[in-house]
Amino acid sequence: MLAPGSKYCIFALLLAALCSTSAQAFDASSPIKEVRIEGTTRADQNTVRYYLQTQPGQKYDRSRISSDIRKIHSLGYFDEIKVDIRETDGGLIATFVLKEKPFVKEIIITGAKEVEEPVVLLKLRTKKASFFMKEYLPWDQQRIKTLYRDKGYYFTEVESAIHKLENNQVNVEHVIKEGKKINVGLVGFRGNHKFPDHKLREVVSTKAITWTSLVTSGGSFKRDALKNDRLLLEAFYNEHGYIQVSVGEPKVEIDREKRKIYVYFPISEGEQYLTGDIQFEGDSVFTGEELRKLIVVKQGDVFNQKRFREDIFKINDKYAQKGYAFANVNPRFKVNREMKTVDVTLSPMKGDKIYLGRIEISGNESTRDRVIRREFLVGEGELFNSEKLRLSFQRINGLGFFEKVDFEQRSRGDKDLVDLEVKVEERETGQFSFALGYSSEEYLTVTGTLKWTNLLGKGQSLSVSVDTSTKREDYQFSFTEPAIFDQRFSSGFSLYNHTYAYQTYTDQRMGGSVTLGRGVGDFTWMKVGYKFEEIMIDINTTVEDGVEPSQYLKDQEGKRVVGAIFPSITYNTKDDPYSPASGHRIYAYLEYAGIGGDQKYIKEIGEFTQYQPLMSEFVGMFHAKAGYIEAYGGVPLSVSEKFLMGGARDLRGFNLKEVGPQDENGEVIGGEALLLFNFELQYRFTRYFRGFGFYDRGNLYGKDDAKGNTTDKLFDLENMRQSWGFGIHFFSPMGPISLIYGFKLDKREGESADEFHFTIGGEF
């Protein structure tokens, strides 16, 4: 090993050699006539000249020449630099004679099995088609070792060889000796008395190898992760009141025979501290009692500094809702070692009131500015309000027009103004789909849809759909304007023709509807609509297997006309229109028939959906639905208006023929009441793709059931069908797609054990 000053001596000698000039004598007072560069093959001469201070017309200056050599050397392209000074009649000719470094033709990786060669090449500092830097080799070798250590090959060795080629080229070869994989065999702790080892193992990222390591990163040893693990352990203890905890340098023991690494964290826990007195000072906006309600930790609770930071954020946000956008709460902690308590004093500094300046929108190439601006609950020039901005963000994101929405606040030169930049990334909102599907009930299905959810960038929706199968013919056209004159008023209309062929009869509905809506809250919409439709029940004249239609269905034959008004209200706080993780949706619907037409009935439907984030990317979903229909005025209820159940959108694992009232032939006749519960455990792979498992429970109820398939006791919780299964939801260029497999938990004689459901379009 060189003495501390040796490298400077070597550098001086090297510099002297680099700065060497020809031994020929010359008149140093003569001007430099020409500056030449020799020896460049791959390096650009213009790049070299850019760094030269020595120029024609100057007098010879040795210090300037030395500076030029240092700058050229710093480029890293040359192994040797010499300067030749020759005198001519017109002056001096300065020639920089350069010897280029070898050029890397190929980088060869030998022996790489556990790490793919492209991954290794990507991490190397030495690159193909670049000048070879010998000093990069140790760095590259260490990087390769790090890649292997992260995969558990802790004793990987790397040797490098330089193969000289013609034309001053080289191949750089890295020979990797992977060795045997070594895993973490045990993560232990020493000095921990308050928490058992298994609890602390949940805190650190370093994990011992187990059978689950096949699908997780458990078992791999990363020395860099140990430092972070120490911080994680200290934070964990701090959150439980151990504010004097100390986690020492982990001890790492290696068993080469068993190929295991054992990691031990030494811990000095100290005493547990409780929360002492909590005081507020220096505030004139809120009283101490108002702010104290935001503090979760109370006097006498275990002291938790992390929880205090979360509570401080809530206090800051409370000020921001009053216009104090830059309010800051300064906490002071006083430790009482005798009482083992920590007193807390919170000093809010509200600052000045801030007003919203300009709202600038970018990224909306198709969507018009006003479509986004009308979702804001706070306008330019108004007092800053963080809560309204959060709700505005949620409403813009909920439009479903954008892949991504970002709010960015920027302070202006004006002391009391802050601008807001809204950055959106649009998604394709026009969809055309054509698909073939299959179900056990309808066999082959053909679906075609042409849909825009942001027509011409105005936020309008237009849809034309065709859905046909061996039993179904559905045609529908609909249009919706969500904001009349950019106000929270909506309107829409639809035209449709729905036909379904049951075993002994065909049900055809043809008509249209118009709706008007009004937003009455941040997330609440009230709508009222009117529909007018013609219903035709045709009894099949050709009946298979000699089955005659029941008298109930024969009485239904003929034409009916429905004129109905249908008000509804929707409250929706879902945080994402495609893959919600939190929030809920409440929906209530009433349909009153008898305003035109010959049918008279009242139909009521209520729904509730809740999303709850769980650990990692798991989300829990609960959905409940209840419905009831009743005729009045002595007009019998049409089978067309009754409830049906079974399929991908309600009771999965069943088809329409298997749920609810049936006539004596086993034909579906619908129910007067509906009750449904859906439970899902979802995993979000991406925003647009998620898998789920489910449990469904539901039934239809009615008094005309001839097969004992249900009961006329409405909403009977004990008389319900149930199923379980799994599936995936994803958004494709054709729209939402669901693939679901459901299994009956109460299979009856003659029923299939399971059902496969495939759907395109609609909502999940």
Separation between Cα atoms, residue 216 and residue 184, nearest integer Å? 13
Q: Which residues contact 3 (CB under 8 A, 6 or more apart)?
A: none
Q: What is the pLDDT of residue 71?
A: 92
Q: What is the pLDDT of residue 544?
A: 59
Residue located via tokens 């070879």: 132
> Looking at 269-388, which runs of residues are DSSP E strands?
274-280, 328-336, 341-349, 355-362
Q: What is the pLDDT of residue 403?
A: 85
Phi-psi bin for 761: left (phi > 0), alpha (psi -120 to 50), beta? left
Q: What are phi and psi of 514, to 5 degrees?
A: -130, 145
**Which token pair is 589?**
């619907």
What averages of pLDDT result for each successive group of 10 residues across the chain (764 residues)?
39 42 64 91 89 90 91 90 88 92 93 89 90 91 87 85 92 90 88 93 87 60 85 94 94 84 94 92 81 88 90 90 88 91 90 90 91 91 91 89 89 82 86 63 73 87 87 91 90 94 88 95 92 92 68 88 96 87 95 94 97 91 97 91 92 91 88 96 90 96 87 90 94 78 92 86 59
Q: What is the pLDDT of residue 13?
A: 36
**Which token pair is 581?**
């993780």
Separation between Cα atoms, residue 666 and residue 425, nearest integer Å? 53
Using an 8 Å Cβ cutoff, are 652 and 547 in contact? Answer: no
Residue located via tokens 């219903």: 535
Separation between Cα atoms, residue 223 and residue 250, nearest integer Å? 10
Separation between Cα atoms, residue 73 and residue 15, nearest integer Å? 10
Answer positive or negative: Cα dihedral of 13, 14, 15, 19. positive
Separation between Cα atoms, residue 513 and residue 276, nearest integer Å? 65
Q: What is the pLDDT of residue 20?
A: 46
Q: Give the DSSP letter string of 93-155.
A: EEEEEEEEPPEEEEEEEES--SS-HHHHHHH-SS-TTSB--GGGHHHHHHHHHHHHHHTT-TT
**Which token pair is 334?**
């006083």
Q: What are phi and psi of 203, to 5 degrees?
A: -85, -45
Nearest to 222 by CA among 182, 267, 176: 182
**Which token pair is 265?**
């964290």
Q: What are phi and psi of 424, to 5 degrees?
A: -120, 150
Please give the single-letter amino acid code of residue 736.
P
Q: What is the pLDDT of residue 736?
A: 78
The number of residues making up the chain comes to: 764
Q: Which residues contact 205 (CB under 8 A, 6 or more apart)?
A: 225, 228, 229, 232
Nearest to 222 by CA among 286, 176, 153: 153
- What DSSP state is assigned to residue 614? -
Using an 8 Å Cβ cutoff, are 563 and 595 in contact? Answer: yes
CA distances from 571 to 112, 461, 521, 628 (A): 58, 20, 9, 21
Nearest to 729 by CA among 760, 751, 698: 760
Distance spanning both ends of the chain, measured CA to CA: 70
**Which token pair is 600?**
């008279």
Q: What is the pLDDT of residue 525?
A: 93
641: number of Cβ within 10 Å: 20
- What domains are defined for the chain? 6-100 (3.10.20.310), 103-177 (3.10.20.310), 183-268 (3.10.20.310), 274-349 (3.10.20.310), 367-426 (3.10.20.310), 430-760 (2.40.160.50)
Separation between Cα atoms, residue 199 and residue 219, nearest integer Å? 18
Separation between Cα atoms, residue 351 and residue 555, nearest integer Å? 77
Q: Which residues contact 43 (CB under 8 A, 6 or more apart)?
A: 75, 77, 78, 98, 100, 131
- What DSSP state is assigned to residue 18? H
577: number of Cβ within 10 Å: 16
659: number of Cβ within 10 Å: 26
Nearest to 522 by CA among 371, 322, 376: 376
Q: Which residues contact 91 (CB under 8 A, 6 or more apart)?
A: 30, 31, 32, 33, 34
